[in-house]
Amino acid sequence: MKSRVLGAAAALLFPVIALAQNPKGATYITAEQVKTINALPGVDRQIVNVDVGNTNLAVGVIHRGKSGVPPAGAAGGGAAVPAPAAPPEPCGDKGAVPAGSSTGLWHQGQTETYIIISGSGTLVTGGKVVNGRKSAPDSQVTKVLNGPSCSGSIVGDDVVRKVVNVGDIIIIPAGTPHGWADIPDHVDYLSVRPDPQRTISELYTNPALKKQ
């Protein structure tokens, strides 16, 4: 009887064990490669987007300069963002925006984990996006960075404003508005982006790494 019970237990466990053995190889990103990508013009530069089996997983490095200073270059891998063919579609709630509200966005399918690697700033999370605009289907945000997203003003009694510094880690669930309220000088951070819905279907390696 005992052997049959153990056999039945093994039969139940084996598919789980087999499923856990992902045949896909590991992806290595060196510190030097992160510096290379972070030296490119723009704000948000995707490093890779890889298929890890039960989800796609992307890693990007973002550089944001001092508040009020326009970013140099274009967003997303150093490539210019094409002008949308039509006005962006509205998204989020509609309503009045209180003075001093921050702007930001939320992503349909991606949860993001921020790892602050340089500088500091006040991160805004929570609330809701008001008078928002959907990211265009052919935009860099939708195709390469974050998948379908909604950007606008962040408002609400549950908005959190918190100063983050080097070494801090922030987890921002999909659908949660987020943005920056104040950056004294700059803030650089890695963004790790699981995409179980595969809202970004194309796998990606930053062109700058292909040259190495």
Lowest mean pLDDT among 13-17, 24-28, 112-116, 199-203: 13-17
> Cα separation of 212 and 202, whole Å?
22
Are 111 and 146 within 8 A, CB to CB?
A: no
Range of the domain at 52: 2-210
Phi, psi angle pair for 7, to nearest 5°: -65, -40
Q: What is the pLDDT of residues 3-27, one digit of tens each?
A: 454 444 444 444 444 455 666 789 9
Lowest mean pLDDT among 4-13, 39-48, 120-129, 133-142: 4-13
Mean pLDDT for the stretch of residues 78-98? 73
Number of domains within the chain = 1
- Of 206, 201, 197, 196, the closest CA to residue 55 belongs to 196
pLDDT(78) > 90? no
Looking at residue 74, its pLDDT comes to 41
Q: What is the pLDDT of residues 145-190, one digit of tens each?
A: 999 999 999 999 999 999 999 999 999 999 999 999 999 999 999 9
Mean pLDDT for the stretch of residues 75-98? 68
Mean pLDDT of the residues in the chain: 86
Q: What CATH number does the domain containing 162 carry?
A: 2.60.120.10
